Amino acid sequence: MSRRSLLGMVLAAGLAAGLAPPAWAFPDRTITLAVGFAPGGSTDITSRLLADRLGPALGPNGRVVVENRPGAAGIIASDWLRRQTPDGHVLMLVEASSHALAPAAIVGGTRYDPIADYTHIAIVGSGPMILVAQPEMPVRTPQQMVARMREGVAEQLPFASSGVASMPHLSGEMFAHAMGLGGRFPHVPYRSGGLMVESIAKAETQWGVAVLASAAGQVRDGRVRGIAVTGMERFPAFPDIPTLNETALPGFDLENWFAVIGPPGLPQPVVAQLNAAIREALGQAQLRERLLTAGVAPWTRPNSPADATAFFRSELTKFQQVVARTGVKLEP
């Protein structure tokens, strides 16, 4: 019998009998916080900011290390996570790509159920995508970008993203759909938002869509040009960058989010402890400021494990409706 099966049976029997939680203290060793992207992207940045504060919030034995497991916009790591031992020492910071977008929009779906196959612990934050361009590209405003694409240039300028079935990938497809262009933009996927933004800075590609946190530093440094964000309102840390909604494409609204989840069957006391520690960390002014500066708005809505599960359900439904309305489907 596997360690996971034995642990699950012991915990289930104890809880069913009304016994107290196990005598061992949690955590009793280092916690791994997996990330489904290469270093340097928005999920990686958010995970490292959170890990620095989450460890101390878990007590004297709290230590959290980030492990990058890139591939297929977080889908590969998500499938791996659901097979891990449910003791709270292996978690994952996921985003909308792998747990709402991919199950709804990717052709053939995913091998995992984003609701039933995981323990939802807490939401960390959210933020828009951003259209970025190489500084030498003759486009400075959303209106100029849309006009340039409608002139037929789109087929000659593939857009870059952080990977197939990622939120930036969907954003690019929805950008084409909102402009009424027939067909889809040619697409150049990278293994992370950081690699994608670097490709634009080096003029390997001319433009692309990134999660704001992936591009924030290079936009500030002027290495890439921020054209527009995809939320309904401007992001507080970048007040000079307009939205597509207020300029060229009224009604355009698409945001990414980040959440901590675990394998199915995590013991309730462990889930409660992790949730409380994440909320404590998010309540610290320094972490909130660092997240905002990085392009992530810290979560302020109700944030219990039940709230997190309800949020995952609503987001999956939302993206299913987006696919039904736009007809956008993403090839794996």
Residue 75 lies in a domain: yes
136 and 93 together in one domain: no
Question: Do 276 and 213 share a domain, yes or no?
Answer: no
CATH number assigned to the domain comprising residue 16: 3.40.190.150
Confidence (pLDDT) at 149: 83
Write the pLDDT tens digit of every residue in 288-313: 999 999 999 999 999 999 999 999 99
In a domain, 239, yes or no: no
Tell whether 28 and 173 lie within a shared domain.
Answer: no
**What b/e string do you get for 29-51 counting C-beta neighbours within 10 Å, with b at 16 or more?**
eebbbbbbbbbbbbbbbbbbbbb
Beta bridge pairs of residue 260 = 93, 122
In a shared domain, residues 31 and 120: yes
Q: Which two tokens stand for residue 302?
A: 């109700």
Q: Is residue 50 domain-shared with residue 96, that is, in the same domain?
A: yes
| Residue 31 in domain | yes
Indicate whether 242 belongs to any domain: no
What digits encode the pLDDT tens for the residues 5-20?
444 444 454 444 444 4
Residues 120 and 265 in one domain: yes
Nearest to 150 by CA among 114, 185, 123, 118: 185
- In this structure, the answer to whether residues 116 and 260 fall within a common structural domain is yes
19 and 109 share one domain: yes
pLDDT along the chain (332 residues), means of 10: 46 47 76 95 95 95 96 94 97 96 91 97 97 94 90 78 88 86 78 93 94 94 97 96 96 95 98 98 97 96 98 96 83 70
Residues 186 and 296 in one domain: no
Q: How much is the pLDDT for 3?
A: 44
Residue 159 lies in a domain: yes
Residues 51 and 36 in one domain: yes
Does this model's pTM top 0.85? My answer is yes
Answer yes or no: is 94 within a domain: yes
Q: Strands 255-262, 225-229: parallel, antiparallel or unpaired by DSSP?
A: unpaired
Cα–Cα distance between 236 and 293 in angstroms, integer?
A: 9
pLDDT at 180: 81
Q: Is 78 exposed, middle or buried (0-12, 13-18, 19+ CB in 10 A)?
A: buried
Q: Which residue do the tokens 């934050």 mark? A: 125
Structure confidence by residue, pLDDT tens digits, 61-90? 999 999 999 988 899 999 999 999 999 999
Q: Is 235 among the domain residues?
A: no
Counting the structural domains of the chain, the total is 2
Cα distances (angstroms) measured from residue 302 to each of 14, 267, 288: 30, 21, 16
Host domain of residue 211: 128-229
Whether residue 331 lies inside any domain: the answer is no
Residues 121, 160, single domain; the answer is no
Element (H, E) at 14: helix 3-16
pLDDT of residue 13: 46
**The domain that contains 141 carries what CATH number?**
3.40.190.10
Predicted local confidence at residue 177, as pLDDT: 85
- Type and span of the H or E element at 20: none
Instruction: Quickly tell me which residue has 């990058």 as its tokens.
Output: 68
11 lies in the same domain as 122:
yes
DSSP for 102-144, please give it: HHHHBTT--SS-TTTTSEEEEEEEEEEEEEEE-TTSS--SHHH
